[in-house]
Structure 1
Amino acid sequence: MGELKLSTKIGYGMGDLAGNLLFQMTVIYLLFFYTDVLGISAMAAGIIFLIARLWDAVNDPVMGLLMDRTRSKHGKARVYLLYGSLPLGLATIAMFYAPDLPMGGKVAYAAGTYILWGMLFTLVNIPYSSLTASLTDIPQERTDLSSIRMIFMLIGVIIVSVATEPLVSSFATPSRGYFSVTAIFSLLALFFFLLCFRLTGKAASESRKKDESYKLGEIWPLLLKNRQLLIVTAASLIGNMAVFIRETSAIYYVTYNMGDSGMLPFFLGIVVLSMLAANLMIPLATKKWDKKGTYLIGSAIGVAGSVIFHFIPYDQTALIFLFGALSSFGIAAISTVGWAMIPDTIEYGELVTGKRAEGISYAVYSFSQKLATAVAGITVASVLQWSGYAANIPVQSDQTLRGILSTLTVIPVIFIVLSMGIIRLYAIDRTTYEGILLKLKEKMS
C-alpha cells in the first residue's frame, strides 16, 4: 500500500456524500418530522431512538464480524456498497412516510422503520468506513482521506440543510414534501455509492489481505485489549453528542428563538461552510500539531464560540451566524480527526492481539456515532418535553426558548470538555505509529 490516486480519494469521498444525504436527514429533520408532521410526542420519539441504539449494540458488532469473514471478488467491504445501498435508500424513504394511523400505529411504524434503517445503514457504513485502513497505511494519507471524506460529507450536509426546507415547502403538504425530498436524496445516494464502489476498486483490491478467523465470543476480549481504540471511541462518542445535539436543535432554534424558519437554510449553510473550511485546514494542522493536538485545539475553539453564542440576543442575526460558524469551525475536528485516528488504532490492536479486526473496530466506532445521534435526539426531546414545548405553536414560552438555547450551547460545551479530557489519553503519534508498523513487519517476515 502507498500513496493513492486523486480519483481513488474522490471516489472514497463520494461514499460519505451518499451516506450523509441519508444520515443528515435523520440527524437534522427526523425528530422534527416525528413531532410536527407525523404527530407523535417528543418523548415517544426519544424512546424510539433509545430502543434502536440498544439493538445496535448487538447488531453492529455482528456486522463487523460478518464483514471480516466475507470473501468476495469485490473484496470484503466494497461488496456491501454494491448490494446494500438500494435497500438503505428504500428504508430511508419509508422512514419519512407519514401513514394515516392511530397514534399507537404511528409510533409502531416509526419505531419499525427507524430500526430497519439503522440496520441497513450499518450494513453499508461499516464496510465503507473500513476502506480507510485497507486503502493505505501511510498516516498522512489516512488523514487526507478522512479530510476528503469529511469535505464530501459536508457537501452532503449542505445539500440536505439548504435544499430540504425550500423543497418541502414547494409541495402541498409537509408530509408529501418530506417523503418526496427523501426519495430524491435516496436516488442521489444510490448513484454516489455506486461511483464509490467503482472508483475505489483497484486500490482496495491491492490492499493487504489477512486471515480474520475469530469467533463471536472473541469480539469483546479483542476490543478491550485495544486501549487506543477505546479511548478514541469514547472521546468521539461524547464529542459527537455535542455535534449532533447542535444539529438536531438548530431547526427549533431558528424557527422559534429567531422566529423565522426561512432562515434555516442560511444558518445551516453558514455553519456547514465553516466546517468545510476547517476540513481544508485539518491536514495542514495535523502536520504541525499531530492528530491529538489538532483535536484539542479545534475543540477549544468550539467551546469558546459556543460560550459567546449563548449570550447573543435572538434578533442579532449577524452575530448568531458569526459565532455559530466559529463554534462549528472548531468542533469539525472532532469527527474528522476521530475518523483519521481509527485506522492507526487498528494496527495498534493488531500488534497487541495478533488480529487486525478492521470490521469489528469500525463497527464499534460506527455504533458510537449512532449512539451519539440517539443521545442527541433523546436529549433534545427531553429538553423540549421538560420546557413545555408545543408543536406548531409560533410563539413558545420563555422557558422553552431557554431550553432550546441550552441544547445549542451549555449542553454541547459540557460534552466537548469531557471529550477533550478523554482524548488527552491517546498515545499514538507519528513516532509511535512508525514503531508499530516496524514491529508488525518484523512479525510478518
Structure 2
Amino acid sequence: MKGNEQKISFVEKIGYSLGDLAANLIFQTLMTFLAFFYTDVYKIPPNIASTIIFVGGMTGAFFNPIMGIIADRTHTRWGKFRPWILWTSIPFGVMAMLAFRAPEYNLNGKIAYALITYILLVIIYSANNLPYASLSGVMTGSMKERNSISSYRFTAVMIAQFIVQSLLLPLVYILGDGNKTVGFEKAIMMFAIIGVVFFIITFLTTRERIHPKREQKTPIKEDLKDLFRNKPWFAMLLATIFIFITLSLKGGMYVYYFDNYLNAPSLQSFLNDVGFNSLITHLNKFLVSIGMHGFKWPDDPATSGFSIFNAIGIIMMIVGIGISKPMADTYGKRNVFGYSIVLSALTLVAFYFYSPSAIYLVFITQCIHGFFYGISTPLLWAMIADVADYSEWKNNRRATAIIFSAMIFGLKAGLSIGGALVAGILGFYGYNELLQEQSQQTVSGIQLAISLYPALTFLLAAASLFLYEIGKHKELQIQEDLEKRRS
C-alpha cells in the first residue's frame, strides 16, 4: 500500500466517528442509567437488578468471539465489516427502545422482560459494534492515522456522553412531564432514530483498505492459537475489563451520589453561585419573549448538579483527547495511556475524603479527573488496532475481528460486572428505593462506590500494561515491516 493511500480524509473520519456517537447514545445510557432505570423506574429490587445486568451482559459478552469469527469470514463487495454496521442499524434501534420500556407486569414478568430485552440488545450491540471497532484496524495501516481516527472517534463519544450524562435525566423529566417511565421511552426513541441515520452515514462514507492476503487460510483453530500466544492482546483484554468495570461502577453510582450523599442546600447554593439557576430563568424568559413556550427544567438541585458535574467532566475529557495524539506520537501510546489512568485513579481517591457540603471540591476534582482520563480515551482502541498489527507481524496472518472481539468481550464483561456492582453494592448496603432518605450505612456504601472501589479497578487496568510489550520503537518497527510485506 502506498503512503498516500493510508491518508484518511476529513469526511471519512467524521463519517466513521458518527457510528460511535450513535452507539454511545445507547451504550452510555446503559452504563449510566440501567441500574437506576431498573431500580427506581421499573421498581425491580436492587439484588435482582444486579443479577439481570450481570447475566444479561455476560451472555452478550460471550457472543463476541462468535461474532469475531463470523466477521473475519464475511466476504461482500462492501468488505468484511462495513456491511454489519448497515445490517444491524435498525435492529439496534428497535431493541434499544424495547429495553427501556416499562410494561406493567408482575415482578416475575418484569424480570423476564428486562432480562430478555437486555440480552437481545447486547447481542445486537456486539453484532454492530465489533465490526465497527474492527473497521478502524483496516481503514489504514498508518499508526499515526489511527491515532487521528481515534481522536475523531472519541470526540464523538464525548459528545454522546455529554448528551446522555448531562442532559438525559432532565430530558426524561421534561419529555415525561415528571413521569420517568414515559420520559425514558420518548428519549430513547429519539436516540434510536438518530442512531440509525448515523450508522447508515458511517457505512456510506468509510472504506476498508487493509485486506488479508488472498492465499491466507483462516482456520478457527489457528486464529485462537495465535490469540492466546499474543501477550499484548491479553494485556489489553485485562485493561479493557478493568476500565469498563470502573466506568460502569462510578458512572452508574453518580446519580445515587447526588440524590443521597451530597447536601441539597449546599448544592442549591452552588447552583446559585455559578449562575446556573439564573441561566435557566433567563433562557425561559427569552423563549417566551420570542413567542415560544418555556421549558420546565427539573427544580431539584440533585438533578441539576448531576448534569453540570457530568458536563464539566466531559468538557475536560475533550480537552484531554485534544492533547492525546501529540503525546502518543511523542512518547508512545502505552506510556501515555498508563500514566493517564494512574492519575485518573488518584483523583477518584480524593472523593472519599470530601464531606457532603464540599461541593466546590467535588466539582474541581471532577474537572481534573476528566482531563486525565480523556488523555487515555482514544488510545485504548488505537492500541487494540496495534495488537492486530502485532499479530499479523508475528504470525504472518491477519485476523482483525477476532482480536477486537476479545476486546468487546472485555468491554461487555466490564460493563456487566460494573453495572451489577452498582445494584449489588446498593443491595449490600441496604438501599431501599421506596425511602425518601437512605440509612447512613447505605450513604457510606455509595461514597465508597464512587471513590475507592473504582480507583482500585483503574489501578489494576494500569498494572495490566506490564504485559503490553508494544512500546513506541516496536510500533514503528511493526508498521515499517508490514508496509514492506503489503507492498
Q: TM-score when scaled to structure 2?
A: 0.87
Deviation, 1:237, is: 1.5
**SS class of match (2:6):** coil
Pairing 1:183–2:183 present: no
1:197 to 200, 203, 206: 203
Deviation, 1:422, is: 1.4
Q: Contact 2:331–2:472 at 8 Å: present in 1 too?
A: no
- Alignment-derived partner of residue 63 in structure 1: 67
How many Å separate the matches in 2 of 1:243 and 1:275?
A: 13
Q: Contact 1:62–1:216 at 8 Å: present in 2 too?
A: no
Distance 1:57 1:97, change over 3 A: closer
More off after superposition, 51-60 vs 343-352: 51-60
Look up the equivalent residue of 2:164 and give its one-letter code: V
**SS class of match (1:348):** helix
Q: Contact 1:292–1:424 at 8 Å: present in 2 too?
A: no
- Alignment-derived partner of residue 411 in structure 2: 369
1:122 to 110, 123, 126: 126
Deviation, 1:262, is: 3.1
Deviation, 1:440, is: 3.8
Deviation, 1:442, is: 5.5
Deviation, 1:254, is: 1.2
How many Å separate the matches in 1 of 2:471 and 2:143?
A: 10
Look up the equivalent residue of 1:158 and give its one-letter code: F
Deviation, 1:216, is: 3.9
Pairing 1:277–2:340 present: no
1:384 to 411, 426, 430: 426
Pairing 1:210–2:213 present: yes
1:243 to 239, 247, 260: 247
Give 5+ residue unaligned stretches, structure 2: 265-301
**SS class of match (2:260):** helix
Deviation, 1:415, is: 0.9
Deviation, 1:332, is: 2.9
Look up the equivalent residue of 1:52 and give its one-letter code: G
**SS class of match (1:99):** coil
**Equivalence map 1:210-359=2 (5 Å):** 210-211=213-214, 213-258=217-262, 259=264, 260-359=302-401
**SS class of match (1:314):** coil
Deviation, 1:178, is: 0.5
Distance 1:108 1:215, change over 3 A: farther
Distance 1:246 1:418, change over 3 A: same
More off after superposition, 319-328 vs 356-365: 319-328
- Alignment-derived partner of residue 166 in structure 1: 170
Look up the equivalent residue of 2:183 and give its one-letter code: G
How many Å separate the matches in 1 of 2:62 and 2:417?
A: 17
Give 5+ residue unaligned stretches, structure 1: none
Deviation, 1:286, is: 0.9
Deviation, 1:334, is: 4.1
- Alignment-derived partner of residue 154 in structure 2: 150
How many Å separate the matches in 1 of 2:439 and 2:467?
A: 43
- Alignment-derived partner of residue 407 in structure 1: 449
How many Å separate the matches in 1 of 2:166 and 2:160?
A: 10
Q: Contact 1:34–1:40 at 8 Å: present in 2 too?
A: yes
- Alignment-derived partner of residue 90 in structure 1: 94
- Alignment-derived partner of residue 4 in structure 1: 8
Look up the equivalent residue of 1:123 and give its one-letter code: A
Distance 1:213 1:39, change over 3 A: farther
How many Å separate the matches in 1 of 2:61 and 2:240?
A: 17
More off after superposition, 109-118 vs 415-424: 415-424
Q: Contact 1:254–1:261 at 8 Å: present in 2 too?
A: yes
Encode CA deviations 1:209-240: one digit per residue, 9 max, x unaligned. 43564344444322102111111121222123
Q: Contact 1:236–1:335 at 8 Å: present in 2 too?
A: no
- Alignment-derived partner of residue 44 in structure 1: 48
How many Å separate the matches in 2 of 1:167 and 1:437?
A: 46
How many Å separate the matches in 2 of 1:95 and 1:437?
A: 43
Deviation, 1:371, is: 0.8
Higher-Rg structure is: 2
**SS class of match (1:135):** coil
**SS class of match (1:313):** coil
Q: Contact 2:62–2:409 at 8 Å: present in 1 too?
A: no
Pairing 1:53–2:57 present: yes
More off after superposition, 299-308 vs 177-186: 299-308
Look up the equivalent residue of 2:44 and give its one-letter code: I
**SS class of match (2:136):** helix
Q: TM-score when scaled to structure 1?
A: 0.95
Deviation, 1:441, is: 5.1
User: Aligned residues, how many?
Assistant: 442
More off after superposition, 98-107 vs 390-399: 390-399
How many Å separate the matches in 2 of 1:353 and 1:57?
A: 26
Encode CA deviations 1:127-165: one digit per residue, 9 max, x unaligned. 111111111111111111112111100100111122211
**SS class of match (1:134):** coil
1:14 to 13, 18, 24: 18
Look up the equivalent residue of 2:157 and give its one-letter code: M
**Equivalence map 1:130-145=2 (5 Å):** 130-145=134-149
How many Å separate the matches in 1 of 2:421 and 2:24?
A: 22
Look up the equivalent residue of 2:110 and give its one-letter code: K
Q: Contact 2:316–2:367 at 8 Å: present in 1 too?
A: yes
- Alignment-derived partner of residue 80 in structure 1: 84
Pairing 1:419–2:419 present: no
How many Å separate the matches in 1 of 2:432 and 2:58?
A: 28
How many Å separate the matches in 2 of 1:428 and 1:106?
A: 47
